[in-house]
A and B are shown apart, each in its own frame.
Chain A
Amino acid sequence: MRITNWLCLAVLCLVVGNLPPLAAGHDHRRPAAGPKKTPVQEEKTLIHEEFTGYGKSEFAARKDALNNACTWLKQYKYGELNWSPDADYLLEHKMVQFYEWEDKKFDEPMGVMKVVKMQLAITDSQDRDIHKQAQHQRMKERHKQAFLVLLGAMGLLSVVGGYLRLEEATKGYYTRLLRIAAISILVVLVAGLCVAG
């Protein structure tokens, strides 16, 4: 490679490496240089909300509170991620804390119900994990989509390549027949992909 190529590459790298978006890494970026956090220091809590659950039993009340939290997260926090944490995820990652339950009397037909208050706290690192998990889910979905697109492309390539090869081999004697066959295969392929997709 000539020296000008090397120089060009070096300049490009420098330019691209210093583009502003790279510095705007937001949450996913490494922490900026500065005083390091000690393990004792608590992480910054991004979400701090309290939810109330009602139920005939303590278990049902807790479940209701968890569902309320999940719905809230989906509606107001992680809706655009196409994935939001479910109840199991919140429990597994210790994002919720339940308080003591209490009985509360309501008008009939509900009667006496157990009421549980629950605190949802999501820290900075937990929020990052949720984003990662959402990204992982998106990756799975997109790999499926990409696979379907790839299947379609392979089908198209096979049909085009096969048509050209056969058309060449037969010197155009069966052009019409080959075209009909190629179009038929493509139609079947597209229909199959639509059904699968």
Chain B
Amino acid sequence: MKFTYSSGQRPLDGFTLKRGIGRGGFGEVYFAVSDGGKEVALKLVRGDTQIELRGVAQCLNLKHPNLVNLYDLRTDHHGDRWVVMEYIAGEPLNVILNRHPNGLPRELAREWFLGLARAVAYLHDHGIVHRDLKPANIFLENGMVKVGDYGLSKAIGSSQRTAQTHSVGTVHYMAPEISTGNYGKQIDTYAAGIILYEMLTGRVPFDGESSGEILMKHLTTPPDLSQIPTEYLPVLSKALAKNPSQRYASMTEMARAVEAIEAGGAASVPRAPSRVPAAAPPPPPRGAAVPVRPPRPPEPVLVALPAVSRRAQVMELCGSMLLVVLFTALGSILWTAIRQPKADDLLVEMGRVFFPTVAACWAILVPSKFWTERRGDSWLRRFALLAIGGLVGVACWWMDGGSFAFLSIQGAAGMSYFSFYALAFFAMRWWRLTARRRAHRFSFAPILGAGFWGLVLMLLLIRPLSIIPNPGLLILVLAMTAAIVQLVSPWEQPPAPIAKRLRLRYA
């Protein structure tokens, strides 16, 4: 992502840019520091600045804990307009939702929705319609919801008189009445309903191949509420009503409805332990027998999985890849110590295990790092790994002394390496071993699985593999890869009760 300005530049007097943090159709956002030391976000407004800046100007003096504060509107010496605003270190909601394909824990969705509702209600109370409510514009910082991006917001009073000729908002969150040029505050209620739906289920109610198809669904198709928890059904069916007059009259009313429903229906939902310590029980009378109770297991705390940005993923990947080398070196030394080869062959024997294992681990880690949180493309991943495994096989063949000059003689060996690694990579879902939320930190099952597949492939390819010196090493390489990939991949224990509930729900 190339930004117009680089670190250290001062396009706006009084602020030094530190780094670019976001980019979109509206322009660019930078993290910057004022001369006095205040950390801010600077938004360089591009495109249709009139609409953008009109909304910003109306929001400059708004103050709410759930709103991203706007400090100022400035112009640089090129005539470009900049919005000086609060710097939010957290991640947008859409990134968090991507990591929760089955939706957020109910308690968390409720808490965050209430923050969103308070912020939008505050905007409405001040005559502002946000008009572009979507997860990408909602940020989470230290568990606090912050609604940002006022780029498209406009005063309610002018909404019906000055109909825009271009579309506003984002199509998945666009209320049906926008097609008729009605930009009342009900469109925010509708968008908030869609966001609540998405937080609870992990998907939007109306999706399609094109914007037109989605818009048509907004206009005509009733939302599928079969996946929604029963206590939320009345709230969502009212918020997502096609007719704006049938929706909640205000965001405050909708927030109250959510609070009320949750208060009644939360009995089945595990709650986070209270932050206020309960009063200590009175001490037992002296000499009385005190029944010994086993300590209660701690109650599960409902939290969203921590945010991992692309930058953090790259950092983790670098660390994991370095750790692979360390663990593989240890494994190879152990293997060589067991084998006790001749002194001349010591390094070669070690290298025959070390290099293929490092290559295989890296080949799995790199794509898997960016796969683990997505679902539904298992076949695509398998075939990608098939190709990657083939490349690893060719690399191993080359490292084992294969020569392209003697392809007629060594082609069979090369083909054997290629087939073995390609099929071994295809056979297992290797990316699961690197998943942050895998069931166990380390499991022997994948090692056994890798060994099993190695053996099966050895038997299937026994004729061509017989020309490779010590083909049993290939099985060892696969088993070591399965172990090391798990060891070096970060792991976070998923909240078990929620996972179980979701599994049951989606079974």
Chain A residues engaging chain B, CB cutoff 8 angstroms: 5, 9, 12-13, 16-17, 19, 21-22, 24-30, 80-82, 131-132, 134-140, 142-143, 146-147, 150, 153-154, 157-158, 160-161, 164-165, 167-168, 171-173, 175-176
Residues of chain B within 8 A (CB-CB) of A167 are 19
**What would 17 more interface pairs be, CB under 8 Å, given A29-B412, A139-B348, A161-B319?**
A12-B423, A22-B412, A22-B419, A22-B461, A26-B409, A26-B412, A29-B467, A81-B406, A132-B469, A139-B351, A146-B351, A147-B351, A157-B322, A160-B318, A164-B311, A165-B315, A168-B315
Residues of chain B within 8 A (CB-CB) of A173 are 18, 33
CA gap between A153 and B362 in the complex, in Å? 11
Closest residue of chain A to B429 (Cβ to Cβ) is A1
Contact A16 B423 (CB under 8 A): yes
**B225 contacts partner chain A, Cβ-Cβ < 8 Å:** no
Contact B348 A9 (CB under 8 A): no
Residues of chain A within 8 A (CB-CB) of B352 are 139
Contact A150:B325 (CB < 8 A) given known A29-B412, A81-B403, A171-B39: yes
Q: Nearest 9 pairs between A and B by C-beta? A: A172-B18, A161-B318, A135-B401, A175-B7, A139-B401, A138-B401, A143-B351, A172-B19, A25-B412
Contact B412 A143 (CB under 8 A): no
Instruction: Select A158's contact among B18, B39, B322, B463, beta carbons within 8 Å.
Output: B322
**B415 contacts partner chain A, Cβ-Cβ < 8 Å:** yes
CA gap between A21 and B413 in the complex, in Å? 9
CA gap between A81 and B412 in the complex, in Å? 17
Docked complex: B383-431 residues within 8 A CB-CB of A: 398-403, 405-406, 408-413, 415-416, 419, 422-423, 426-427
Instruction: Select B7's contact among A143, A150, A172, beta carbons within 8 Å.
Output: A172
Closest residue of chain B to A145 (Cβ to Cβ) is B399
Instruction: Select B427's contact among A9, A28, A137, A139, beta carbons within 8 Å.
Output: A9
* Min CB–CB distance A2 → chain B (angstroms): 9
Closest residue of chain B to A5 (Cβ to Cβ) is B382
* Min CB–CB distance A170 → chain B (angstroms): 9
Summarize B's interface: helix, strand, loop or mixed. Answer: helix
Contact B7 A24 (CB under 8 A): no
* Min CB–CB distance B194 → chain A (angstroms): 33
Residues of chain B within 8 A (CB-CB) of A27 are 409
**B196 contacts partner chain A, Cβ-Cβ < 8 Å:** no
CA gap between A5 and B398 in the complex, in Å? 30
Chain B residues engaging chain A, CB cutoff 8 angstroms: 7-8, 18-19, 31, 33, 39, 311-312, 314-315, 318-319, 321-322, 325, 347-348, 351-352, 355, 358, 382, 398-403, 405-406, 408-413, 415-416, 419, 422-423, 426-427, 457, 460-461, 463-464, 466-467, 469
Residues of chain A within 8 A (CB-CB) of B318 are 157-158, 160-161, 164
Contact A22 B416 (CB under 8 A): yes
CA gap between A30 and B408 in the complex, in Å? 15
Residues of chain B within 8 A (CB-CB) of A82 are 403
Contact A131 B409 (CB under 8 A): yes
Residues of chain A within 8 A (CB-CB) of B406 are 80-81, 131
Q: List 27 A-B contacts (CB under 8 A).
A: A9-B423, A12-B423, A16-B461, A17-B460, A17-B461, A17-B464, A19-B419, A21-B412, A25-B464, A28-B412, A29-B467, A81-B406, A132-B469, A134-B401, A138-B403, A139-B352, A139-B399, A142-B399, A146-B351, A150-B325, A150-B358, A158-B322, A164-B311, A167-B19, A171-B18, A175-B19, A176-B8
Instruction: Select A30's contact among B315, B461, B466, B469, beta carbons within 8 Å.
Output: B466
Residues of chain A within 8 A (CB-CB) of B315 are 161, 164-165, 168
Most buried by A among B348, B400, B401: B401
Closest residue of chain A to B467 (Cβ to Cβ) is A28
Contact B314 A160 (CB under 8 A): yes
Contact A13 B457 (CB under 8 A): yes
Residues of chain B within 8 A (CB-CB) of A132 are 469
Closest residue of chain B to A30 (Cβ to Cβ) is B466
CA gap between A165 and B399 in the complex, in Å? 33
Residues of chain B within 8 A (CB-CB) of A176 are 7-8
* Min CB–CB distance B489 → chain A (angstroms): 15
CA gap between A150 and B361 in the complex, in Å? 13
CA gap between A131 and B467 in the complex, in Å? 12
Residues of chain B within 8 A (CB-CB) of A19 are 415, 419
Contact A28:B18 (CB < 8 A) given known A139-B348, A172-B7: no
Contact A21:B411 (CB < 8 A) given known A140-B348, A172-B18, A175-B18: yes
Residues of chain A within 8 A (CB-CB) of B460 are 13, 17
CA gap between A22 and B402 in the complex, in Å? 15
Residues of chain B within 8 A (CB-CB) of A81 are 403, 405-406
CA gap between A167 and B312 in the complex, in Å? 11
Instruction: Select B412's contact among A24, A131, A135, beta carbons within 8 Å.
Output: A24
Closest residue of chain A to B315 (Cβ to Cβ) is A164
CA gap between A168 and B316 in the complex, in Å? 13
CA gap between A49 and B84 in the complex, in Å? 87
